[in-house]
């Protein structure tokens, strides 16, 4: 069998070769991808080899990997092929956690520490950037569909984040398989694609004559028709001696070729089929290897012995009888270097349950997990589960739970959930059941069922004190921060803290202190800051915590709820430095969301939108929807109708279906748009729901309390005074929890209610307190709202100069935020308040009297009677009044007199003036 790597296979590929050269020319300036996709044997590898040569000729450092199907279970096998020969000098340039993770993933360290898959991806990106600083780098992967999942995840992470680095990609992909790197989506127009089709009859003729110049045209035509223009298939068909018995498919041809291999070649073919590509020294039977090479089944490529074509490898493995296959795996286990490969081959060699082999597989799975290869760990632990002796139900259940954990880490939540449910449906008890209940709680969208699972876990008898402490802390967190049942949650949090103190484990103590701090804060109890402070003091001595349970994040939330933005920002910056150092991509995504929310509170709205947009590139499910909530509100405050699309996605999500607070958040954004467009009633209906629903929704209460002042303003405008009082009382209950922001917000709301009650003087005092407070804590959105309300109140009591000054400041606040709807409201109010020439000076004394009486509701006849004049004279006065004031009706006249825009001197009691009217 001839190899498809012969240069002759490139006949008829002029257009494809032009694309390869164009791609190579881009490598020196920017990221450039090349994806060669087509059917087996069509010539992908030949074109890929040309691309590799072209990249090297252009001066690029080319890192190659040629994975095979047998390597799919081997975590980071592909990444090792790419980096192993170049990475060691680079490790010294990486932050220590990244260097440790990458070294562990590639098995370069004897001691392997925890390898977070995302940290491995980030370390890979840093290493490639360091290499690209010296010359362009190309990741060249043949048969990318066989790349192991751990390597694919790390490299996909890299490709998604390429900006202007000189890092390129050249990959071949077999039709019918997904691209594990998702290069089309990641690179967009920076990716060139080649889809080789079958060669023409003329090209097939040139190909066949390159190996057999005397081949008859009739035979060329027949081979071209049978091969469909596939060059590899055509070359193999040309070796057939019987035209009448040409195989009808490439797969049939592979089967015939393997069957035709001489018997002495079998040991070498079988060894390569079981172990994959091997160095020459691994073949002890040199005669068998020579026979396999002569038969065209195996070939030496890049100092390795491998099958001439991947289809031959699959066909050869499938042809090995089961007993012989197990014997080969047993031999392979003795040759394997690492624990993972040795355990995998022992599992495939096993004929039945084996406690010894299962224990080895446990250790191998743990090693794979520590390297950040959860898919490989999941496969190994699944073998261990299968080989567990039947009587040992507890061991099988524990391995089932480990299997679920690894599947969850490998982003297979449905698979993990099914395994957890299998445990919960059994009669297994103790620590394994507790682990399953805790994991099942994490899968719940609704807080009630999650808390119920955790309550069951806390009640389950077992003797693992650390697990018991962490489970109780998790229950307190979920009950208090999610369900909003803060009283029992407070007791649970404090009890978990006592248990952690007795346990003496720093990592568990940090978790308990963080939980107690947040739950105490939500409950409005003192001491939250002390708990957070203790956690921060010891957290650097323990491994990074997961999710929002990090003390810095929880403390940052508690501080910015209070309006202490500077400290919150420092805590977030410290957490970001830690996450970047450890390559914690999940945490960095969350930090972008939270930093966006903090920027929104601080009035840095452009930065907030940038951070939220950045988070949305990675956020999924619950995190995506909660990011959209923040962006929708930001956009709606600016009058941007793009917020409607965000709100609709929120409302239509499964998260909103299970969480009415999230659904109400989408409605709140729509309410802001309603208000901006003059639909006050609809705005009040939509906006009031969110703060009302979130009041007893755990951490959402203080989170959404920030929306109460603008909601109260809308309710007052819509004459929904009772609802406005209710929300103000809700905010008053949270005042201590939200100090100092809460105190200033209460003053703002009380001022709005005083305005509604016709007490503008009282309102002015309250608004002044709010302005002073919001200025002090640097909260420009609330400051703008307070200045706007203050200006309106000052205008009501006739202090027009002061009103205009306050409204001008409000307008500047809103302008800095680009909050267009609020700017329009402030401009309109400023037009009313800004002092201008007195209209009664423009009017004559008689006209002023008529204006005052008409604005008071008298008819023309009543005005004429009171002023001792005729109705016609009153009508003439009104005509001139309307003309001078630029109005057209008695209603408009009444409005501008009532709101102070047209102050009139009281002259009606002067008998001299009465005579003048006549």
Concatenated DSSP letters of 858-905: --HHHHHHHTTS-HHHHHHHHHHHHHHHT--SHHHHHHHHHTTSS---
Q: Which fold has domain 7-194?
A: Rossmann fold (3.40.50)
Domain 658-833: top CATH class: mainly alpha
Structure tokens at 813: 């606040």
- Rounded CA gap, 537 and 553, in Å? 14
pLDDT at res. 879: 84
Domain boundary assignment for the chain: 7-194, 201-246, 658-833, 839-917
Q: What pLDDT, on the 0 to 100 scale, is given for residue 707?
A: 93
Contacts of 695 (CB under 8 A, 6+ apart): 701, 730
pLDDT of res. 730: 93
Which H helix or E strand runs over 62? strand 61-65
Q: Is 587 exposed, middle or buried (CB count within 10 Å of its CB: 0-12, 13-18, 19+)?
A: buried
For helices 322-335 and 266-275, angle between their N-to-C axes, nearest 10 degrees: 70
Cβ(9)–Cβ(230) below 8 Å: no
Asked if the domains 7-194 and 658-833 are classified in one and the same CATH topology, the answer is no
Residue ranges for the chain with pLDDT beneath 50: 1-7, 110-112, 241, 546-548, 839-840, 906-918
Supply the DSSP string of 492-552, one letter for each residue: HHHHHHHHHHHHT-HHHHHHHHHHHHHHHHHHT-TTHHHHHHHHHHHGGGSPPPPGGGSHH
Q: Report pLDDT digits (tens) over 145-198.
A: 999 999 999 999 899 989 889 999 999 999 889 999 999 888 999 999 998 887
| CB burial readout 5-40, b (16+ within 10 A) else e | eeebbbbbbeebeebbeebbebbeeebbbbbbbbbb
Task: Give the Å distances, CA to CA, from 585 to 63, 78, 84, 92, 830.
Answer: 25, 22, 24, 22, 48
Pair 353, 389: CB distance under 8 Å: yes
Location of structure tokens 């780098």: 137
- CATH level 3 topology of 839-917: Arc Repressor Mutant, subunit A (1.10.10)
What is the pLDDT, as a whole number, of residue 43?
82
Rounded to whole angstroms, how far apart are CA atoms 896 and 885?
A: 10
């Amino acid at each position: 069998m001839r190899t498809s790597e012969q240069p002759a296979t490139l006949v008829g590929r002029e257009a494809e070769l032009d694309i390869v050269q164009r791609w190579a020319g881009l490598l020196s300036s920017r990221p450039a991808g090349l994806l060669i996709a087509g059917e087996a044997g069509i010539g992908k590898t030949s074109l890929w080899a040309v691309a590799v040569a072209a990249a090297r000729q252009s001066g690029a450092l080319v890192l190659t990997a040629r994975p095979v199907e047998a390597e799919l279970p081997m975590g980071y096998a592909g990444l090792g092929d790419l980096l192993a020969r170049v990475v060691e000098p680079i490790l010294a340039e990486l932050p220590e956690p990244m260097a440790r993770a990458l070294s562990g993933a590639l098995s370069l360290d004897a001691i392997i520490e925890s390898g977070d898959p995302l940290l491995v991806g980030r370390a890979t990106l840093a290493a490639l950037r360091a290499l690209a600083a010296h010359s362009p780098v190309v990741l060249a992967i043949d048969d990318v569909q066989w790349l192991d999942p751990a390597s694919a995840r790390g490299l996909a992470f890299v490709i998604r984040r390429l900006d202007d680095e000189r890092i390129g990609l050249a990959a071949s992909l077999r039709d019918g398989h997904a691209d594990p790197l998702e290069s089309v989506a990641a690179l967009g127009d920076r990716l060139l694609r080649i889809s080789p089709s079958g060669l023409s009859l003329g090209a097939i003729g040139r190909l066949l004559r390159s190996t057999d110049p005397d081949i008859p045209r009739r035979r060329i035509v027949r081979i071209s028709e049978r091969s469909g223009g596939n060059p590899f298939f055509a070359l193999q068909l040309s070796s057939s001696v019987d035209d009448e018995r040409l195989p009808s498919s490439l797969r049939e041809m592979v089967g015939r070729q393997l069957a035709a291999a001489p018997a002495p070649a079998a040991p070498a073919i079988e060894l390569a089929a079981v172990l994959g590509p091997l160095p020459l020294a691994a073949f002890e039977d040199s005669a068998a290897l020579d026979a396999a090479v002569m038969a065209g089944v195996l070939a030496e490529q890049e100092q390795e012995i491998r099958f001439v074509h991947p289809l031959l490898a699959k066909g050869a493995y499938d042809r090995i009888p089961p007993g012989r296959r197990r014997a080969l795996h047993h031999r392979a286990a003795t040759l394997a270097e690492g624990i993972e490969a040795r355990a995998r081959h022992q599992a495939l060699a096993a004929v039945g349950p084996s406690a010894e082999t299962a224990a080895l597989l446990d250790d191998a799975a743990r090693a794979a997990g520590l390297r950040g290869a959860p898919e490989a760990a999941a496969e190994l632990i699944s073998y261990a589960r299968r080989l567990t002796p039947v009587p040992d139900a507890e061991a099988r259940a524990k391995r089932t739970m480990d299997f679920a954990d690894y599947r969850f880490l490998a982003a297979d939540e449905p698979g993990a959930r099914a395994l957890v449910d299998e445990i919960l449906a059994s009669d297994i008890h103790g620590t394994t059941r507790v682990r399953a209940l805790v994991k099942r709680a994490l899968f719940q969208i609704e807080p009630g069922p999650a808390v119920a699972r955790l309550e069951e876990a806390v009640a389950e008898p077992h003797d693992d004190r650390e697990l018991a402490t962490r489970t109780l802390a998790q229950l307190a967190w979920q009950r208090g921060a999610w369900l909003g049942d803060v009283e029992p949650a407070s007791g649970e949090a404090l009890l978990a803290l006592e248990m952690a103190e007795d346990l003496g484990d720093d990592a568990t103590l940090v978790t308990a202190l963080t939980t107690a701090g947040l739950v105490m804060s939500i409950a409005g109890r003192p001491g939250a800051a002390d708990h957070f402070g203790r956690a921060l003091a010891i957290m650097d001595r323990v491994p990074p915590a997961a999710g929002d349970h990090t003390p810095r994040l929880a403390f940052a939330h508690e501080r910015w709820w209070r309006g202490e933005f500077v400290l919150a920002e420092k805590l977030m910056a410290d957490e970001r430095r830690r996450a970047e150092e450890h390559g914690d991509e999940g945490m960095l995504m969350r930090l972008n969301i939270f930093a966006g929310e903090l920027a929104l509170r601080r009035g840095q709205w452009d930065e907030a939108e940038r951070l939220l947009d950045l988070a949305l590139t990675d956020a999924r499910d619950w995190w995506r929807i909660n990011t959209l909530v923040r962006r929708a509100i930001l956009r709606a405050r600016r009058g941007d109708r793009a917020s409607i699309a965000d709100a609709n996605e929120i409302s239509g999500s499964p998260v909103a279906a299970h969480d009415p607070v999230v659904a109400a958040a989408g409605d709140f954004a729509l309410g802001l748009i309603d208000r901006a467009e003059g639909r006050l009633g609809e705005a009040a209906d939509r906006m009031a729901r969110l703060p009302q629903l979130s009041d007893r929704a755990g951490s959402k209460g203080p989170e959404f309390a920030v929306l109460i002042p603008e909601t109260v303003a809308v309710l007052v405008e819509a004459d929904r005074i009772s609802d406005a009082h209710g929300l103000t009382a809700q905010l008053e209950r949270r005042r201590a929890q939200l100090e100092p922001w809460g105190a200033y917000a209460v003053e703002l709301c009380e001022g709005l209610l005083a305005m509604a009650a016709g007490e503008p003087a009282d309102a002015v005092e309250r608004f002044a307190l709010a302005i002073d407070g919001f200025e002090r804590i640097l909260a420009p959105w609330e400051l703008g709202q307070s200045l706007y309300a203050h200006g309106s109140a000052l205008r009501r009591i006739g202090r027009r100069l002061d009103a205009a000054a306050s409204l001008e400041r409000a307008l500047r606040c809103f302008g800095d935020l680009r909050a267009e709807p609020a700017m329009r409201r402030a401009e309109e109010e400023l037009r009313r308040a800004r002092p201008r020439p007195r209209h009664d000076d423009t009017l004559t004394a008689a006209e002023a009297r008529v204006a005052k009486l008409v604005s008071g509701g008298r008819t023309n006849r009543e005005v004429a009677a009171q002023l001792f004049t005729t109705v016609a004279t009153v009508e003439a006065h009104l005509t001139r009044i309307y003309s001078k004031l630029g109005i057209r009706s008695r209603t408009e006249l009444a409005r501008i007199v009532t709101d102070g825009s047209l102050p009139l001197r009281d002259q009606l009691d002067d008998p001299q003036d009465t005579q003048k009217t006549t």
